[in-house]
A and B are shown apart, each in its own frame.
Chain A
Amino acid sequence: MSEMANTDPEGIDAVRMTWNVWPRTKVEASACVIPLAVSIAPIRSHPDIPTLPYSPLRCKSCSSALNAFARVDFTAKIWICPFCYQRNHFPPHYAMISDTNLPCELYPQYTTVQYSLQANPDPNNPSNVPQLPPVFVFVLDTCMIEEELGFVKSAMKQALGLLPEHALVGFVSFGTQAHAHELGFSDISKVYVFRGDKEISKEQVLEQLGLGSAGRRPTAGYPKGLQNGHSNTGVNRFLLPASDCEYTLNSLLDELQTDQWPVQPGNRASRCTGVALSVATGLLGACMPGTGARIIALVGGPCTEGPGTIVSKDLSEPVRSHKDLDKDAAPYFKKAVRFYDSLAKQLVSQGHVLDLFASALDQVGVAEMKVAVERTGGLVVLAESFGHSVFKGSFRRMFKDGEQSLGLCFNGLLEINCSKDIKIQGVIGPCTSLEKKGPNVSDTVIGEGNTSAWKMCGLDKSTCLTVLFDVSSTERSNAPGTANSQLYLQFLTSYQDPEGKRMLRVTTLTRQWVDSAVSSEELVHGFDQEAAAVVMARVTSLKMEMEDGFDATRWLDRNLIRVCSKFGEYRKDDASSFTLNPCFSLFPQFMFNLRRSQFVQVFNNSPDETAYFRMLLNRENITNAAVMIQPSLISYSFNSLPQPALLDVASISADRILLLDAYFSIVIFHGMTIAQWRNMGYQSQPEHQAFSQLLQAPHVDAQMILQERFPVPRLVVCDQHGSQARFLLAKLNPSATYNNSIDMAAGSDVIFTDDVSLQIFFEHLQKLAVQS
């Protein structure tokens, strides 16, 4: 199965697995080298998913939801849970059930169904009854030049116009100090000022904003939560419906100046990002529990003041680099991470999201803030200016409605049920472990583990999680025979959709157990190279972050060699005899590109960029993530349709236009001749309409990608030998370098690098794979 052919490899379930057939034992599983992992986009929309206006039936023993794989005894009105084999009676309202009258969830094709919990409010959480409007708190940096501030202001105004009318809006600006704007005060613009250099707890924020228990006392007599769907804590002084405060906010933005505190020459502006986020978080803390809220941080530089500081104010001291981190020479890093970690905890406990829009030429501390963004499921966009299309496009996109909507949801809760022999190691992706222990929880932890439930404060339809599994070694002993030939996994994701409705998505999967010792054939055919590559990338990234002195390249190489040794066909010590099953054939190339990618070769990037790339790697679906690892290249030329080209420097040709999609950037690369023609203006001459079309074609395709993708990638249009061409060259296989350039055809190009090319890599791989 070629992934190119299948436009929707994930299907209704939005699931991809590294292995679609599972080895039975732990030993076998570890021999497979590539971990057992499921990548799932828990709320991806799909036209075939039915939405059921009732609550699911839950197994009374393992609380998994009734699903298509349950065995149903229509006469006895009993269903048997496939996970725990518990026999459950159907409740009275299922009395009509029969083999011809099935509820939706029992249709075999509906392995994924969605329940709308709206009609039957959860009795444990009656406050859900009135729909809670979503809350948006903008946290705006003011330490920037007028021009940048102008950009970001206009972006914000635009966003305000796009917000749903009932959405509540809050505003915090910061510079040397953090300003919480009281939007509900009509007489005068009112701002609570928090000093920037002092860590402030949630309680302090609440108290100081007059939202603390003291402030609340006067209204204690009222039943909470009736007005506006909001508790009467006074937080509505700060959070107003967008329709009510749009004018106020607009005029406030008009008057907003850059930070007025003086900056000493030779110093960075003093910027208290940490405190500002604490304040925003604290403010949201006064909201009703269960409110979907997000903090949208617009940051234009590094935090230099108070908690979360990443660098001193002295400009002579550069912001930490990967090298500094490696050498433990980043004095602020750990402290800042600890701070954001605690902020993340607070946000998660409140169920709120932190989105980060960082736009600056230098780093702003994404690496430190990553923990808070990722754990809360926030969005992150890194651009070099608020005037740049990457920021502008992404920011607008975030608030867009309809087709283009990101489908931002809140308060997600993912629970996983699985067959008895399966253990959950953890999840990589934008979520937080809820530390819900259970029999299915593995002792080995990868990512957010130690649990069978995760909180996803923020999630959208493209949010994707990677769940890593392990096979229990005790499985053999009590295998109950054939019944056990299938394994089951069930993902239950409850969340609050953009309209505030409570939804529950249930995806139930089944796969086959296989005894790899018996039949490795099946196992091999169940391998998903793309998914495996992405999972390897994710695991590698995680390990690079978590493990000191982790040598990613070597680790990847070793694993690749092991994979090849296990699944390749060869004669021992005969490299030339080595062949690889087609199911594995692309994998080495993915690994080659992964080794060269920004995820592994971090030294070409700042820690901020690395953090940014990794966050997106972790939250994107397999296809997109694969593009991040191994960009796609399309070639446009006369006389042929656009066609995929080898990701190789050899693909460069003077009369071609190349379109590189490296996910974060899209490069349109004009061959030398094309560029010359274009410069001479042929495209505007009627007789050269074909040329004009050729020029246009990659732009049209690029535009399609730009529109779909979030964050909006950076579009680079360049010519061969131009300075921007480096964006392309960096991604190509250096089959032609200055070392061997003599061999190359004219019009082609060389890459000035000492990196090994794919061919050499393969040669070595074969040699090592066959070694005994």
Chain B
Amino acid sequence: MAAPVPPGAPRPGANARQQSPHPNFNPNFQTNPNSLADNMQNMNLNRPHSMPNSGPRPSPFGQPPPFPQSSVTAGFPVASPPMSRPGPPPGMVGRPAVIPAGPLQSTLPANVPPGRPVGLPVSHPLPFGSRPPPASLSSSTGGAVLPSSAFPSSGVSSASAAPPPPARAPAQAPTMRSVLGSSAVSSPQTPPLPSASSPFPAMTQARPPPPGSPYGPQTWSMQPQQGTQPPHIPGSTHAQPPRMFGMPQQALPNQAMTNIPPALGQPGAPMSGSSKIDPNQIPRPIPNATPIVYETRHGNSANPPPPATSDYIVRDTGNCSPRYMRCTINQIPCTGDLLTTSAMQLALLVQPMALPHPSEDPIQVVDFGESGPVRCSRCKGYINPFMKFIDQGRKFICNLCGFTDDTPRDYHCNLGPDGRRRDADERPELCRGTVEFVASKEYMVRDPMPAVYFFLIDVSMNAVQTGATAAACSAINQVISDLPEGTRTQVGIATFDSTIHFYNLKRALQQPLMLIVPDIQDVYTPLETDVIVQLSECRQHLELLLENIPTMFQTSTTAESCFGAAIKAAFLAMKSIGGKLLVFQSVLPSVGIGALSSREAEGRTNISASEKEAHKLLQPADKILKTMAIEFAEYQVCVDVFVTTQTYVDIASISVIPRTTGGQVYYYYPFSAVSDPAKLYNDLRWNITRPQGFEAVMRVRCSQGIQVQDYSGNFCKRIPTDVDLAGIDCDKCILVTLKHDDKLQDGSECGFQCALLYTTVYGQRRIRVTNLSLPCTNMLSNLFRSADLDTQFTCFLKQAAIEIPTCPLLQVRDHVTNLCINILLSYRKFCATVSSTGQLILPEALKLLPLYTLALIKSRGLRNDGRIDDRSFWFNYVSSLSTPLAIPLVYPRMFAIHNVDTKDGDESVLPPTIPLSSEHVCDDGIYLLENGEDALIYFGSSVDSSILQQLFGFTSVDEVPTQFVMQQFSNPLSKNFNDVVNVIRQQRCSYLRFALCKKGDPSGMAFLSCMVEDKNANGPSYVEFLVHIHRQIQMKMS
């Protein structure tokens, strides 16, 4: 997008011409206003009378049809000029506005801790508010009513123009929400709230109205759109009213037109005309700066958890930490029908080994000795705080199956006056949501396995020449010292090209002995014992060997790679013990068992077929690898594959193995010997040092009435109730979908228990039991109020990922959109009936759902363009992804880094996030965009050379190298930048793969394609999308 029209430059040119017309003409706008005015509860969109989308398109001013995307970009630049006129550049303005808002709100929200939403609607919102304090935006989303006024896409620009409004919006949002909560009872309340909210916002927003807008003070109210909209919805209006003020409907249009379009930045695009939503008011995620303390239960009832993406410290007061297990809805619908009505998913996201916050108490270990933990004799549920002891403690009732058991004699304890056991507070298993039991003999089929690490390195010609082999060897070499100490740690190593080379590392040998397995159709292990040796016995050999491997194969001319045979052989070597198999693969496996063909290329040559069958390329090529994977899992071998490649390697096929064995794929494409080794090392190190377990089995039990429908994630399932995990670690998350098989009692609690039996790295057998007990409800509004956005969306994401290989993309995208629409429709239909049909009303808790859905549709996995491998990797990556990382994956964070030195005494190292809209990207800025895995650094075309010099050591954008290695220079800017990066790395537990993007370059395009709020080839702009949703809802309502 960027390429064709660099923001700054273009103006003078043709664009300029075109632009100029825009502002003036704004035909679209005008039309739009007429067409739609959608108000959303928080965002009310006036309905577009005319089709919003269609609307915008028709008037492609300057933009030639060929480049829809370019049009967008073009749009931005265009926008900017106008922006500039009014005042500060859009991006800049926007941000500051946000910030102030944040603090304010945060204060307001004190809400954070609010009790449950029982009577007071207000309280509810609070938690949310807390979350996105800065989120004036979010609030706006929540409550914001977006008038479907004239500014469609332009909304964005307007945002910039009217930064303040967003701020206010957020402020409102909370209130809005609260309203919503209450509204649950009766939908209509929303409107009043807004009014209420409006004041707040006004307060907050008190600050200077956005640029240009004369309405300044009212900035937030200013929303021109509303003004434009014929139907002013009260609720929405009040939020919008101010805007209204700002923008006289008709008069506004003109003005708006003039002002806005530029602001929107999409002047060129006719689309701008389509939506009338103030982009600054629409909901966006807002990170909270300081961690909050969260108690899992409060006054004997479950406390809804903070958003997964936020920073919080858990105190386990009966329910498990939400890190380990969280439900898509924090209240459980009593009936399946109710759930169906809500259109939401009921599912658990289980991350049993999740990394706790450093300030949290460690999980307590309980040893019941020989007898093992106390369990329900019927459902085998483990003792937990929700088991009810009766009859002076002689019996207990299982909270999962309702069966009454006798208390084992030596576990007996009298009950106190409150009906609890007197020792309940001393026994972790009776007062903590998560405990770990020491497993007794009966939980072991064999002695706990030692920690075995087997490294398998591709040394085919390509791997060696691209430096991948050297990188892998050096990473392993560095990581050796991080392996667990002690005699239980065993290692093995093998390399492969067209044959497999094992190494005998036994100490007696003067040097390692290379054992080559040349039969790659029918592989075997060359030694029973000495291929895998205790680390303490072979450290020197190993180090020596790792140093030598790259040179040893330096002259290799073997281009073939027998990946399948190699892992099979390594597996055979490990078979008797199990363990982790870490594979470094660089080329397409071309020979031996499970050899693959370059399907991608074949697909390309036969385009007509590939269009229809595109998704077939995302399926494994054959069943061989799958069969192997199942065998691996059976023998407790967990495979991680590090793909360091510059070509197609058919990840779709390869990934089956890590997926089935509880491992994961790491993907370095295109591999760079300069910049990737550091990440490879860090990934490997984290892979090995992170909390993890071996030979694990996991089962989730639910209270009667609910049952587990299915599990999805990286594991192998042999029987329906259990999940076998050859390896489980803190990053792996499993989606557990639930279904009703009976009614639940309103007012009762529904319990979930996840039991993970595993072996620690140090060889103890443990059962980690994670309990969650949630209230049941009959009220639809309660469901919406207690919906957990992050979890719900992650659930969406994972389900979409599952569909990708089996359905045409279009269908997947439609499905995702429909999921979103149906939820909103349900809310609209049953919980917000009072509001005008002209408003798009979003439940507070789910106000970001449309944004995330849009982001998802535009994500790498669901895009049409892009390499097959990228998509394969994407949906594989997603399959085990935890909730806190799932969100940034689709909706990354963006920071400006050209001014990181100018931070304002804030504690937070991280600069404020910037909405993912190209409108917020300035030409003279440098931006960092991270999604937890990749980090893109984007250079505007006119970045100050001294900033460049300070941060990167070069002075001109033209010198931007293709490969990047983080460096710290001795200046505050660079130091801060490094600090920022390090904080992000810590947060993500990922080193991040950096890519430098230059405006006007393909790399720049890649960056801009992450601007999910922009309209581009992959989907509509955020505003347009809202309009689309709104229209769909309206259609379905009528």
Cα–Cα distance between A195 and B512 once the two chains are bound (Å): 21
Q: Cβ of B519 and Cβ of A195 under 8 Å apart?
A: yes
User: Which positions 251-272 of chain A face chain B at CB distance < 8 Å?
Assistant: 251, 255, 257, 260-262
Cα–Cα distance between A218 and B499 once the two chains are bound (Å): 18
Cα–Cα distance between A257 and B515 once the two chains are bound (Å): 14
- Which listed segment binds A: B11-19, B527-535, B680-688? B527-535
Cα–Cα distance between A177 and B528 once the two chains are bound (Å): 11
The smallest beta-carbon distance between B64 and chain A, in angstroms, is: 53
User: Which positions 684-736 of chain B face chain A at CB distance < 8 Å?
Assistant: none
Q: Cβ of A204 and Cβ of B519 under 8 Å apart?
A: yes
Which A residues lie within 8 Å of B516 (CB)? 182, 190-193
- Which listed segment binds A: B264-272, B343-351, B503-511? B503-511
* A177, A188, A251, A261: most-surrounded residue (chain B CB, <10 A): A188
Q: Cβ of B499 and Cβ of A208 under 8 Å apart?
A: yes
Q: Cβ of B519 and Cβ of A260 under 8 Å apart?
A: no
The smallest beta-carbon distance between B543 and chain A, in angstroms, is: 14
B522 within 8 A of A: yes
Cα–Cα distance between A413 and B730 once the two chains are bound (Å): 73
Q: Cβ of A261 and Cβ of B527 under 8 Å apart?
A: yes
Contact with A along B541-584 (1 / 0, CB 8 A): 00001001001100001000000000000000000000000000
Contact with A along B474-514 (1 / 0, CB 8 A): 00000000000000000000000011011000001111111
Point out the residue from B501, B512, B519, B530 that lies within 8 Å of A208, measured CB to CB: B519
Q: Cβ of A187 and Cβ of B552 under 8 Å apart?
A: yes
Cα–Cα distance between A189 and B518 once the two chains are bound (Å): 16
Point out the residue from B499, B502, B509, B527 that lies within 8 Å of A255, measured CB to CB: B509
Cα–Cα distance between A189 and B511 once the two chains are bound (Å): 8
Which B residues lie within 8 Å of A177 (CB)? 524, 526
Cα–Cα distance between A194 and B545 once the two chains are bound (Å): 23
Contact with B along A183-217 (1 / 0, CB 8 A): 00101111111110010100010011110000000
Q: Which residue of B lies closest to A251 (CB)?
A: B510
Q: Cβ of A187 and Cβ of B517 under 8 Å apart?
A: no
Q: Cβ of A255 and Cβ of B518 under 8 Å apart?
A: no
Cα–Cα distance between A211 and B514 once the two chains are bound (Å): 18
Contact with B along A493-537 (1 / 0, CB 8 A): 000000000000000000000000000000000000000000000
A179 within 8 A of B: yes
The smallest beta-carbon distance between B34 and chain A, in angstroms, is: 73
Q: Cβ of B528 and Cβ of A262 under 8 Å apart?
A: yes
Known A188-B552, A208-B518; judge A255-B513 contact (CB<8 A): yes
Which B residues lie within 8 Å of A208 (CB)? 499, 518-519
Which A residues lie within 8 Å of B530 (CB)? 260
Point out the residue from A190, A198, A210, A255 that lies within 8 Å of B514, measured CB to CB: A190
Q: Cβ of A187 and Cβ of B548 under 8 Å apart?
A: yes
Cα–Cα distance between A198 and B552 once the two chains are bound (Å): 30
Main secondary structure of the interface of B (DSSP, over half): loop
Q: Cβ of A189 and Cβ of B514 under 8 Å apart?
A: yes
Cα–Cα distance between A96 and B551 once the two chains are bound (Å): 67
Known A257-B508, A260-B528; judge A188-B522 contact (CB<8 A): no
Which B residues lie within 8 Å of A204 (CB)? 519
Point out the residue from B515, B529, B552 that lies within 8 Å of A193, measured CB to CB: B515
Q: Cβ of B515 and Cβ of A179 under 8 Å apart?
A: yes
Cα–Cα distance between A188 and B527 once the two chains are bound (Å): 17
Q: Cβ of A188 and Cβ of B528 under 8 Å apart?
A: no
Point out the residue from B511, B519, B557 that lies within 8 Å of A188, measured CB to CB: B511
Point out the residue from A179, A188, A210, A260 that lies within 8 Å of B529, measured CB to CB: A260
Q: Cβ of B514 and Cβ of A191 under 8 Å apart?
A: yes
Which B residues lie within 8 Å of A261 (CB)? 527-529
The smallest beta-carbon distance between A409 and chain B, in angstroms, is: 33
Q: Cβ of B509 and Cβ of A209 under 8 Å apart?
A: no
Q: Cβ of A191 and Cβ of B522 under 8 Å apart?
A: no
User: Which positions 162-186 of chain A face chain B at CB distance < 8 Å?
Assistant: 176-177, 179, 182, 185
Which A residues lie within 8 Å of B518 (CB)? 192-194, 207-210
Which A residues lie within 8 Å of B517 (CB)? 192-193
Cα–Cα distance between A155 and B267 once the two chains are bound (Å): 91
Q: Which residue of B lies closest to A186 (CB)?
A: B552
Cα–Cα distance between A218 and B557 once the two chains are bound (Å): 9
The smallest beta-carbon distance between B620 and chain A, in angstroms, is: 27
Q: Cβ of A255 and Cβ of B508 under 8 Å apart?
A: yes
Q: Which residue of A lies closest to B560 (CB)?
A: A214
Which A residues lie within 8 Å of B522 (CB)? 195, 198
Q: Which residue of A lies closest to B509 (CB)?
A: A255
Known A260-B527, A261-B528; judge A188-B514 contact (CB<8 A): yes
Q: Which residue of B lies closest to A200 (CB)?
A: B519
Which A residues lie within 8 Å of B527 (CB)? 260-261
Cα–Cα distance between A187 and B503 once the two chains are bound (Å): 13
User: Which positions 110-163 of chain A face chain B at CB distance < 8 Å?
Assistant: none
The smallest beta-carbon distance between A621 and chain B, in angstroms, is: 45
Cα–Cα distance between A678 and B390 once the two chains are bound (Å): 99
User: Which positions 239-259 of chain A face chain B at CB distance < 8 Å?
Assistant: 251, 255, 257
The smallest beta-carbon distance between A657 and chain B, in angstroms, is: 50
Cα–Cα distance between A262 and B530 once the two chains are bound (Å): 11
The smallest beta-carbon distance between B541 and chain A, in angstroms, is: 10
Q: Which residue of B lies closest to A252 (CB)?
A: B513
Q: Cβ of B511 and Cβ of A193 under 8 Å apart?
A: no
The smallest beta-carbon distance between B614 and chain A, in angstroms, is: 35
Which A residues lie within 8 Å of B524 (CB)? 177, 193, 195
Q: Which residue of A lies closest to B526 (CB)?
A: A193
The smallest beta-carbon distance between B677 and chain A, in angstroms, is: 22
User: Which positions 38-90 of chain A face chain B at CB distance < 8 Å?
Assistant: none
Cα–Cα distance between A189 and B509 once the two chains are bound (Å): 10
Q: Which residue of B lies closest to A257 (CB)?
A: B508
Q: Cβ of B513 and Cβ of A189 under 8 Å apart?
A: yes
Which A residues lie within 8 Å of B515 (CB)? 179, 191, 193
Which A residues lie within 8 Å of B545 (CB)? 188
The smallest beta-carbon distance between B719 and chain A, in angstroms, is: 32
The smallest beta-carbon distance between B484 and chain A, in angstroms, is: 26
Which B residues lie within 8 Å of A176 (CB)? 528
Which A residues lie within 8 Å of B551 (CB)? 187
Which A residues lie within 8 Å of B501 (CB)? 190
The smallest beta-carbon distance between B842 and chain A, in angstroms, is: 64
The smallest beta-carbon distance between B250 and chain A, in angstroms, is: 80
Which A residues lie within 8 Å of B519 (CB)? 194-195, 198, 200, 204, 208
Q: Cβ of B548 and Cβ of A255 under 8 Å apart?
A: no
Cα–Cα distance between A208 and B527 once the two chains are bound (Å): 18
Known A191-B515, A191-B516; judge A255-B529 contact (CB<8 A): no
* B501, B502, B519, B552: most-surrounded residue (chain A CB, <10 A): B519
Cα–Cα distance between A261 and B551 once the two chains are bound (Å): 31
The smallest beta-carbon distance between B106 and chain A, in angstroms, is: 62
Q: Which residue of B lies closest to A204 (CB)?
A: B519
Cα–Cα distance between A182 and B515 once the two chains are bound (Å): 10
The smallest beta-carbon distance between A528 and chain B, in angstroms, is: 55
Cα–Cα distance between A255 and B516 once the two chains are bound (Å): 17
Cα–Cα distance between A185 and B529 once the two chains are bound (Å): 24
Q: Cβ of B510 and Cβ of A188 under 8 Å apart?
A: no
Cα–Cα distance between A516 and B501 once the two chains are bound (Å): 73
The smallest beta-carbon distance between A530 and chain B, in angstroms, is: 53
Which B residues lie within 8 Å of A190 (CB)? 501, 513-514, 516
Cα–Cα distance between A125 and B519 once the two chains are bound (Å): 35
The smallest beta-carbon distance between A751 and chain B, in angstroms, is: 52
The smallest beta-carbon distance between B90 and chain A, in angstroms, is: 61
Contact with B along A725-753 (1 / 0, CB 8 A): 00000000000000000000000000000
Cα–Cα distance between A261 and B526 once the two chains are bound (Å): 9
Cα–Cα distance between A194 and B521 once the two chains are bound (Å): 12
Cα–Cα distance between A368 and B519 once the two chains are bound (Å): 27
CB-CB nearest 5 A-B residue pairs: A208-B518, A193-B526, A190-B514, A195-B524, A192-B516
Taking A187-B551, A188-B512, A198-B522 as given, write out 4 further A-B residue pairs in contact, using a Cβ cutoff of 8 Å, ordered by the A residue number. Answer: A189-B509, A190-B501, A191-B515, A193-B518
15 pairs, CB–CB < 8 Å, chain A vs chain B: A177-B524, A187-B551, A188-B512, A188-B545, A189-B514, A190-B516, A191-B515, A191-B526, A198-B522, A200-B519, A210-B518, A218-B557, A260-B527, A260-B530, A262-B528
